[in-house]
Chains A and B, each alone.
Chain A
Amino acid sequence: MRGYSAFSLLRHALGGHAGWLRAIPDAAPKPAYDVVIIGGGGHGLATAYYLARQAPKLRIALVERGWIGGGNSGRNTTIVRSNYLFAESAALYEFALRLYEGLGRELNYNIMLSQRGVITLAHSHHDMDTIARWATSIQMQGIDSEVLTAKQVHAEVPILNTAPTTRYPVFGGFVQRRGGTARHDAVVWGYARAAAALGVDIIQNCEVTAFDIAAGQVRGIETSRGAIRAERIAMAVAGHSSVLAGLAGIRMPVTSYCLQAFVSEPVKPLLDTVIMSPGTGVYISQSDKGEMVIGGQLDLYPSYGQRGSPHILESVAAAAVEQYPVLSRMRMLRQWGGIVDVVHDSSPIIDRTSVGGLYINCGWGTGGFKAIPAGGWCLADLVAQDRPGDLIRPFGFARFTSGALVDEAGAAGIAH
């Protein structure tokens, strides 16, 4: 992709910015495609982009029920990192992070990848042991990570509560310097603009209402904007995976929960890293606009209502104030909830389904954003090859019958 630069900005400024091309095209559905991707979030759009790049001859459409980026891609707390405990996970998320590192230039769209470091806190001696294991395991993958003493953490994060009476004393932590944040909407728009430029039809306000399946093979979909024929269909609809897969008669090992997040009013720079506290569930960063972006625990009952329980919000906010007293007099500006699909082992599913030609990418739980480039790349590869590549083989349906889970939650206790 090209077209965006300081120079083009200057040139268009002289023309009153009247000459900019459409970045987010709005295509109308054609009767048939080679591949249809369902879901206009980050994973779906990335899938479209990488598939179009890998197989230029394919006629590809992406259908989105609402507007692109309207799901979890636009509701998350924008954290990117690859500091996962198990080799299988680390390989997948590291692949995503490496793609992220070149993504702005590749898409010619500033995704504002800010590798400001992600610090994970330990609040006890036992936490420190867990973190030492975690950090070492990541180093064993050849991924950057270093253990920090309490002193080092406080030096990097002066706003942490150091009072002797604090409920959450910091015993240390570990940092992945290459972790950080990226502008979530920009990732969505950047992929959409690039995919469209490669000829993908991006069709918004187009809801899938049924699958056309014959002899165990998918033939197409019914949508709110008419029928679309395609022999290969990929689903990437985080939060609603069970519902959509259900339309194809597939029962998923997934439960949808509401995850709440909130931001403060913008203030001058306070925090230049991303901090995660598995012990309290609080994770926090400060956006470039100056807002403190805070996320917390799941509401632990199945939900598709994008409003969480206020008492969960309260406990997260209270824990955040306890850890960062400076928040006490700062104001919460906006809170929201996103619907995440959670698998028992907090690891994703990228695989073929029991229906021929129907593929799925789901189960990222609370951590889908950081995986977008890998999730898209792998799903595109799966659709193109019709067999799982090495990266995603551990993340198929087979693990639920064999028991070979990739249990990040069980082992590390958190998987945001």
Chain B
Amino acid sequence: MTRFATGGRIDRAQPLRFRFNGRALHGYAGDTLASALLASGIHFVGRSFKYHRPRGIVSAGHDEPNALVQIAGAQGEPNTRATVLELTEGLAATSQNAWPSLAFDAGALIDALHPLFPAGFYYKTMIRPNWHVFEPSIRRAAGLGVAPAGIDPDLYVQRYAHCDVLVVGGGPAGLMAAQAAAESGARVVLADENGDLGGTLLWREAVAEGLAAGAFAAQATAQLRGRSNVTILTRTQATGLYDGNYALLCERPAAPGGGRPALRLWKVRARQIVLATGLHERPLVFPNNDRPGILLASAALKYRNHYAVGVGARLVAFINNDMGAADALALHRSGVTVAAVIDIRDADGTATGAALAGAGIAYRPGSVIRDTAGRRRVRSVQVCGLDGGGSQWIACDAVIMSGGFSPAVHLFCQAGGKLRFDESAAMFLPDRAPDGVRTAGGLNGAFGLDAAFAQGAEAGAAAAMDCGFQAPSQRTPIAAGKSPAQNIAPLWRVDVAGATKRQWVDFQNDVTDKDIGLAAREGYTSVEQLKRYTTTGMGTDQGKTSNVNAIAILGLRTQRTPQAVGTTTYRPPYTPLTFGTFAGQARGLLQKPMYRLPTHDMQAQEGAVFLEAGRWQRPDFYPRPGEAREDAVRREMRETRGGVGLFDASSLGKLLVSGRDAGRFLDHVYINRASNLAQGRVRYGLMASEHGIALDDGVFARLGEHQYLVSPSSGMTGAVFAHMQEWLRCEWPSWQVAVQNVTPQWATLAVAGPKARALLTALGTDIDLDAKSFAHMSFRDGRVGAWRARVFRVSFTGETQFEINVPAAFGPALWRELRNAGRPWNAVPLGLEALLRLRIEKGYIHVGSDSDGTTTPDDLGFSQWRSKDFDFIGRRSLLRPEAQREGRHQLVGLVGTDPAFRMPVGAHILPRIGARPPATAQGRVTSSCISDALGQSVALGLLASGRARLGETVELYFGGGTFQARVVKPVFLDPENQRLV
């Protein structure tokens, strides 16, 4: 019988069935998997990472190094700590790192050969012939659990929160801190990892203000819940503290499913933070201290009082401080028999002995455990004096140990806090706190309620005052007996005659004191080097139970104090949290914002295949039944050249540049002039970065004397707007220019092709479309169909093209009208790919395809800037030697010798015909297509001194093969611009 009939915080009215390694077991609501397993007499739950040693449950919280289990199913997960996993009906868990079974694990062979596998053995061997020979088997052997396949069914959400005072930890100190801060009127958030506030109040016997600790916690909780300025987050683990008192908290809402989130990530911005994160008990390091059944004293007491579970029928306690002795005594009194207490301290000067003897517990001061026995569960321990004498085996079925305590300083250090090692308390304590962070209770090394209450209240009040709130009325300190003293005599490892067996420091990663000795001997003496070389503290528990022991032992081996050795850097997260938590709702298309065209739905009805280009969803092509992409694209090109094509060009940017200095400003933004453009006219413009690199191209129109409409390319609108604003605000703040991005206001529908004018006439417009009165590169305002519109005559297709701008909401209707009016000429929707190829035939560049971050305007054939004597953006860079250098790669056209072979983009131009890689490339193909209009295979490319090599035939390399092409001017179709009339 390991479950007590009464007591504990479990709900005996709610029995739960679960399976562990296939075995049917049961527990109660309120159990963790670990407490339910212990209640069934099971300690042996897993195998260690390296030696595959049998391992049992060590702790009762998130610091657990051993009890990691695999949860099955779609909502399963690897490496779950059984000590924090709430038991649920039908839960199925299995052990990890054991094959074929937990009891009989082939990997255990490693343990037999352990002398061959000291810390870092892999750095010294498997060097020849090379690592690849050994790596696959190492990989298979490594790794703990198995990542679940399939799509995660759970819902994850996030929530920003802001408060004056964030209190982390709802134990005695945290409760008081929250109360004190709340009384002053501050906005308070109190976070605690457990389902109920109270921390140790819930399972350590104590009395506060005449109430049992549990009742007191309930009362304090009720008072807090009554306050409107307090947000209580239970079941919430603080995982990270970042700059600016920004905290990440992970909440496990009760009863998830049914649309309710499984996890909620709180992003809390606090002006002040009070940390009351308590302490972790430390294991003792002694020979064979890793057997199942050997666990922390405080854990055994928590299992007894919180879960009504006895961890054994006959316990031996091994301690070096009074807290452990008190826990052993409490256990014994509560019905968990403690046969003996082994205390490394001499009896003199401690009341411990008397108290234990009085309870009928054999007390052995000045003694240590020199060895333990029991393969799958500890069976007995060998006790001896510090001189190695008086050896004696004591039978037991569990060992509880208390090696002192380590304050949970992790969050404190993440925030930038500094630590000091207190020799008398044998712990690293908060020393210098970062701005806006306070500590209270166990985190400060305080034992006992009165200190926790007092420190909590003081920290909470001070934090509120730092936020500008009035100090709460002096409250009478809460009566709760005198704090006990720890009286610790640290024992970092058992160093007595005959203590030959391995003594584990890091259970999960199988690091022993010998490993630390080896690392020290070989010179890995920095604590970070020790960690990396031995892997101590690098397990899923991040060394919560082992780090301080490792630091102290390294100190012993290198004649340094723990202070001198120092700690490793504490990094978030405090406890591991799933990546799904970070993703939250940002799944699939919700990852980040994406823009849609005004006529998106119409394009979908047209059968468009969409793709994302520069954050826009745009039609790539419009396949007809049985049509592949390439076929559809070439058909769209043909039908546009032969008749008329329609496309939604609304993604083209529209920046309204107004003000007295607008023209002057654009003269500085573009490499060519804007200020001499006539009103009503449109001009092509190319802008360079300050480094002289082609940044973007597009057109700009002059709307009025002081107003221009600038149209950057689709993906670049935001960047160009930002570019303009930065130069205006930072470099030319006195210039009178206002820039406004009005892109979303307009639907821009383009009509391109020899029949474009006819289509617009059919649709009906009061604009005179005659080429003489409405020339290419100009715009008109007027009525088109039923709408007032602004029509631009520009072209990216090389065809006569009208771009009709109407308020975005009218876009769909206008599209419908255009389709109807276009019937006589079989007007087709034109996809992005066809558009990008039409412009190739015409030799229009596409910045980002035909150029990259190294291409200058001159490389692309634009030298207008040379006529500008003033200092536009990028000009000075264009005067540097490199930009003037002979042999720069210049834009050229390429005509393939095989008209049916599309020259692949990325093909590189060989130094001479017949040359083969490795060779210095002369250039490359930047964009290409098969031109049905010309019956040729054409491409744009960059070629060294290209403009001087027209007519030359070059050989190109791609994918192991080569082909040839003739170098021509970068325009293939209609060089005389007849089609643009």
Contacts and interface: CB of A to CB of B under 8 A. Distances in A.
Contacts of B588: 163, 165-167, 322
B135 A288 contact: yes
Contacts of B880: 401-403
A140 B580 CA distance: 42
Given A17-B518, A267-B79, A270-B147, A328 B580 contact: yes
A367 B692 CA distance: 26
A28 interface: no
A320 B586 CA distance: 11
A182 B49 CA distance: 22
A24 B918 contact: no
A307 to B, nearest CB: 6
A168 B611 CA distance: 11
A305 B881 CA distance: 38
Contact of B143 (A10, A190, A268): A268
B918 A140 contact: yes
A332 B140 CA distance: 21
B211 interface: no
B836 to A, nearest CB: 9
Contacts of B542: 333-334
A411 B583 CA distance: 30
A227 interface: no
B135 A114 contact: yes
A267 B147 contact: yes
Most chain B CB neighbours (cut-off 10 Å) among A126, A142, A265: A265
Nearest to B131: A112
A136 B877 contact: no
A135 B906 contact: yes
Interface string A304-321: 011101100111011111
Interface in B46-97: 49, 75-79
Interface in A158-208: 163, 165-168, 183, 185-186, 189-190, 204
Contacts of A402: 880-882
A23 interface: yes
B906 A330 contact: no
Interface in B505-535: 514, 518, 521-526, 528-529, 532-533
A24 B522 contact: yes
B526 A126 contact: no
Contacts of A114: 131-132, 135
Interface string B939-957: 0000000000000000001
Nearest to A15: B115
A213 interface: no
Nearest to A294: B579
Contacts of B366: none
Interface stretch (A66-74, A357-365, A369-377): A66-74
Contacts of A325: 151-152
B139 interface: yes
B521 A403 contact: no
Contacts of A147: 959
Interface stretch (A44-52, A101-109, A231-239, A348-356): A101-109
Contacts of A266: 49, 79, 142-144, 540
Nearest to A26: B523
A191 to B, nearest CB: 13
B852 interface: yes
A67 B152 CA distance: 42
Contacts of B139: 269, 272, 288, 290
A253 to B, nearest CB: 12
Nearest to A305: B243
B613 interface: yes
Nearest to A331: B576
A5 B123 CA distance: 9
A57 interface: no
A71 to B, nearest CB: 11
B76 A265 contact: no
A140 B919 contact: yes
B727 interface: no
A127 B353 CA distance: 75
Contact of B130 (A9, A113, A166): A113
Interface string B128-153: 10111001001110111111110110
B908 A137 contact: yes
A320 B581 CA distance: 12
A331 B577 contact: yes
B870 interface: no
Contact of A126 (B613, B693, B920): B613
Nearest to A320: B579
A15 B52 CA distance: 24
Contacts of A111: 131
A133 B579 CA distance: 34
A165 to B, nearest CB: 5
The bracket for how many chain B residues form the interface is 35 or more
A140 B143 contact: no
Most chain A Cβ neighbours within 10 Å, of B76, B917, B960: B917
Nearest to A14: B115
Contacts of A167: 588-592, 612
A6 B49 CA distance: 22
B853 interface: yes
A140 B917 contact: yes
A146 to B, nearest CB: 8
B258 to A, nearest CB: 19
Interface in B8-46: none
Contact of A110 (B125, B577, B620, B885): B125
Contacts of A267: 78-79, 143-147
A20 B518 contact: yes
Contacts of B75: 329
Contact of B127 (A4, A14, A126): A4
Contacts of B253: none
Contacts of B521: 18, 20, 22
Nearest to A186: B123
Q: A74, A189, A266 — which one has the most chain B CB atoms within 10 A of its CB?
A: A266
Given A6-B125, A24-B522, A24-B523, A326 B148 contact: yes
B613 to A, nearest CB: 7
A115 B661 CA distance: 59
B908 A67 contact: no
B112 interface: no
B108 interface: no
A83 to B, nearest CB: 14
B518 A289 contact: no
A17 B514 contact: yes
B121 interface: yes
B448 interface: no
B351 interface: no
Contact of B242 (A185, A310, A344): A310
Interface in B584-598: 584, 586-592
B572 interface: yes
A17 B149 contact: no
Interface in A328-348: 328-336, 344
29 contacts: A5-B127, A9-B116, A9-B121, A17-B518, A24-B525, A26-B525, A68-B529, A105-B127, A110-B127, A110-B131, A129-B849, A129-B905, A133-B924, A136-B908, A136-B959, A139-B957, A140-B908, A166-B588, A167-B592, A189-B123, A264-B579, A307-B414, A319-B591, A326-B147, A329-B76, A331-B540, A333-B540, A403-B877, A411-B852
Which 8 A-B residue pairs are closest in the complex by CB-CB distance?
A410-B853, A290-B143, A142-B918, A132-B906, A24-B523, A133-B906, A331-B576, A403-B882
Interface of B: 49, 75-79, 115-116, 118, 121-128, 130-132, 135, 138-140, 142-149, 151-152, 154, 240, 242-243, 246, 248, 267, 414, 514, 518, 521-526, 528-529, 532-533, 540, 542, 569, 571-573, 576-580, 582-584, 586-592, 611-613, 620, 691-693, 833, 848-849, 852-854, 877, 880-883, 885, 904-908, 917-921, 924, 927, 957-960
Given A24-B524, A163-B151, A326-B148, 10 more contacts: A24-B525, A74-B532, A110-B123, A126-B849, A136-B908, A165-B589, A307-B414, A318-B584, A329-B578, A402-B882
